[in-house]
A and B are shown apart, each in its own frame.
Chain A
């Protein structure tokens, strides 16, 4: 892979890694004995682990000039593998906290192994590690294929993919050491946040430069969604994380926002992280891989336009529904609620557009578990967005808020929509990227599919029951006008559901392990395929004509 970089790119990589290593060394020196110093060593080792392999291949010959005419898939391969590694790490932490809730003694007596530290390691591991890496890898695939252009440059894709890994590593390891700014899904401290800004801007520029080289007259829908994802996440990330470090040699910082403004900023971020990270980006995936796998045209281009602008417009208003019945002024809550309900229409229109695209391909859904993963993901997307709008209604929220119903809702989305879609996409993309005829075993894909779907259903049903029971127990009064149940009674009542949730999570996790085994065997053993068509330059271009846009 390193041999495919030009010598100039290898030199540039060495310079960047050297600077990164020096920054890490400085952090390690000034923060000695503190988590900040430990992160310095992490940065140093990360850079060193990449520096020496590049250095040892510095004198290898330049890559073949023909290589520049194909798609650049090396970072996609690494990205897909890293995403699956993060899936195991993130889900392992998730499983641990699930078992911990059912059996509270299932941990060791160490600070890092306490629930409060394991839980953000889980959420960050799956959302940013698994989901984010899958988004980056698939976006590289989709932007090249739908633009019929090679990625712009070979250095910045690696910078984005690996730089992002460093961010997630700093974040997750920090939580285990107690480094957190206590903002949900934005727990990472100031230096990790600053680094992510650098990576993210590079990502956006890379996307724009690749689109600018496209050999297609129009930009395909999937790219609209990926771009909305990158752009809005950058804005959300910067505004929510504006903070003043206590010192340049320590991890602690203070957020510039305070009180209810901080809460509003946090949930504007939190909700739109769901909207643009876990929805817009994933819709980009869905819009490419689903029609590609089904070999059917998108049901309606007009519906795509309507839904895209509906989703990006309405979502940014909806965050305040996370703060119903709080110090947030009533009028902000009303706006959040109404926009959340209006949001349902473009969300469902998108789900419908995906499912209607399958018309004429339902026999494939029956026979092909890969396509079925995507189909079920679209159904869970519709289900979750309906539930989201419903829970955003103030009166409903009065029952659901602070209960496991929220956990059910989040996992219907994260497992049923995001994870199932990623698995379908990985099964669709891996044979293409690795030039294989097919995945190693279709039977294992079937096993994975059913374990994942059943696991999700068990999990979500358990948490629905648990959440609604909790909400009802908390608001039940006796004839004397006093509370019927002490809080601890509601905790005890949750136990059977927590056991069921752990079972569902285990099924899902086993499915993931099966998927990784299948992925590994595909890379190693599946028969090779000849993919002449998967090439940015057409026959006409080969003849010497410049690939100009057709319009």
Chain B
């Protein structure tokens, strides 16, 4: 049997039930709640009438506005492309020198290059292009494949050891793993290589042994004078720039295990205009940013 009581504070009646000391008032649902229900439901009804919403057996209600998210996205993509149209074709058609000569196009390069670089190149080469262990510094004067406009554009287009059919291919053989050289021979040639850039000053005997080994095994790629060959992506060993490091251990590892650096091909992933923006950023803007 329920006993309804009146709450002295609010004046409302209770429902007459009690659970472990808890009672409930039978207060009416506030008018604001009914209003809120009405407003949200009417809003939902309007949305359902305007937009695709309810499923039918084999289709769904399309809505009076006739919108579809696939078409919306395509429309927005096209709008974005139209917005970029004024410079994209011009950039794609012009040579890097022609772009350099036209301030309006260079403004586009300056505005859009840092993001393009940051999203595509910085993960390996760094935001400032200075590289890191295994990834070459692109702001110095040492180029594996050449630093001309054409060479840089081509490297970006086809990548290195990439899946592109025209990709640049380069490999340092694993002289130790393939048993071409013994460990002692590797140490000798490593010492010789270090002596070329003044990193080490080995005794003449070791240096001479290293030089002999170098001339037999290494010159076909790195050249007689060890200054490298851009045609096969072989680095200059006489300068102060090192991709994998110039320490004893690093050079020993390079000779013993070989190296096969890798860069993706960007043709097909980036537009021609974007590749040119990156090349200009790399050649003209980044070196000044240091």
Q: Interface on A for B, CB 8 Å cutoff?
A: 145-146, 148, 216-218, 220-221, 288, 291-292, 295-304, 306, 325, 329-331, 333-335, 337-339, 341-342, 344-345, 348-349, 352, 359-360, 478-489, 550-551
Chain A residues near B118 (CB-CB < 8 A): 485-489
Q: Complex formed: what's the CA distance from A360 to B14 in Å?
A: 15
Residues of A within 8 A of B70 (CB): 330
Quick check: A485 and B23 within 8 Å, CB to CB?
no
Q: Can you report 10 residue pairs joining A to B where beta carbons are below 8 Å apart?
A: A217-B2, A292-B22, A300-B26, A304-B24, A342-B37, A348-B36, A483-B112, A488-B122, A550-B2, A551-B2
| Interface SS of chain B | mixed
Q: Which residues of B contact A (CB under 8 A)?
A: 1-2, 7, 9-10, 14-15, 17, 19-30, 33, 36-37, 40-41, 43-44, 47-48, 51-55, 60-61, 63, 67-70, 80, 83-84, 87, 107-108, 111-112, 114-119, 122, 127
CA distance A245 to B26 in the complex (A): 53
> A331 contacts which chain B residues (CB < 8 A)?
51-55, 60-61
Which residues of B lie under 8 Å from residue A488 when comparing CB positions? Answer: 118-119, 122, 127
Give the CA-CA distance A487 to B29 in the complex, in Å. Answer: 50
C-alpha spacing A221/B209, complex, angstroms: 91
Give the residue name and chain of the A residue nearest to B274 (CB).
Answer: A482
Query: Which chain B positions have C-beta within 8 A of A217?
Result: 2, 17
* Chain B residues with CB below 8 A from A551, complex form: 1-2
User: Which residues from chain A contact B41 at a C-beta distance below 8 Å?
Assistant: 342
Closest chain B CB from A548 CB (angstroms): 11
Does B9 lie within 8 Å of A341, measured CB to CB? no
What's the minimum C-beta distance from A324 to chain B, rounded to whole angstroms?
A: 9
Given contacts A220-B19, A298-B24, A300-B28, 14 further A-B contacts (CB under 8 A): A218-B17, A297-B22, A297-B23, A300-B26, A302-B28, A303-B27, A325-B69, A331-B54, A333-B69, A334-B48, A345-B36, A349-B33, A480-B107, A482-B115
Task: Identify the 3 closest CB pairs spanning chains A and B, nearest first.
Answer: A486-B118, A300-B27, A482-B112
Beyond A325-B69, A334-B47, is A342–B115 a contact (Cβ under 8 Å)?
Answer: no
A344 in contact with B28 given A292-B20, A306-B33, A325-B69 (CB within 8 Å): no
Given contacts A300-B26, A341-B40, A550-B1, contact A360 B84 (CB under 8 A): no
Least CB separation from B56: chain A residue: A331
B51 and A334 contacting across the interface, CB-CB below 8 Å: yes
Q: Is the CB of B40 within 8 A of A345?
A: yes
Cα A479 to Cα B104 in complex, Å, equals 12
Shortest beta-carbon distance from B269 to chain A in Å: 16
Chain B residues with CB below 8 A from A299, complex form: 25, 27
Contacts of B26 in A (CB 8 A): 300-302
Q: Which residues of B contact A489 (CB under 8 A)?
A: 115, 118
B22's partner among A220, A302, A345, A349 (CB-CB below 8 A) is A220
A550–B60 alpha-carbon span in the complex (Å): 52
When the two chains form the complex, which single residue of B44, B51, B53, B84 contacts A482, counting CB atoms closer than 8 Å? Answer: B84
Q: Which of B29, B108, B116 contacts A306 (CB 8 A)?
A: B29
CA distance A46 to B108 in the complex (A): 66
Shortest C-beta distance, B32 to chain A (Å), equals: 9
In the complex, which residues of chain B have a beta carbon less than 8 angstroms from the beta carbon of A146? 19-20, 22
Chain B residues near A333: list those with CB within 8 A.
Answer: 69
- Is there contact, CB below 8 Å, between A301 and B52? no
Contact B48 A302 (CB under 8 A): no
Instruction: Determine the residue in chain A with the shortest Cβ distance to B60.
Output: A331
Is B25 within 8 A of A301, CB to CB?
yes
Contacts of A348 in B (CB 8 A): 36
Of B29, B54, B69, chain A has the most CB atoms within 10 Å of the CB of B69
Cβ–Cβ contact A301 & B15, under 8 A = yes
Cα A344 to Cα B127 in complex, Å, equals: 45
Residues of B within 8 A of A221 (CB): 24
Once the chains bind, are A145 and B29 in contact (CB under 8 Å)?
no
Q: Are A487 and B60 in contact, with the CB atoms below 8 A?
A: no
**Whose C-beta in chain A lies nearest to the C-beta of B28?**
A302
Residue of B nearest to A214 (CB): B19
Contact assessment for B53 and A338 in the assembled complex, using a CB-CB cutoff below 8 Å:
yes
CA distance A279 to B122 in the complex (A): 44
Contact flag A478-B33 (CB < 8 Å), given A148-B20, A297-B7: no
Contact partners of B28 in chain A: CB under 8 A: 300, 302
In the complex, which residue of chain B has the Cβ closest to the Cβ of A389?
B40
Give the chain B neighbours of A341 by CB distance below 8 A.
Answer: 40, 43-44
B38 to chain A, nearest CB (A): 9
Closest to B122 in A: A488
Q: Please state if B33 and A303 are interface contacts (CB–CB under 8 Å).
A: yes
Please give, as numbers and ranges, the residues of chain A lying within 8 Å of B80 by CB-CB distance. Answer: 481
Is there contact, CB below 8 Å, between A298 and B114? no
Most buried by B among A325, A338, A360, A551: A338
Within 8 Å by CB of A302, from B10, B29, B60, lies B29
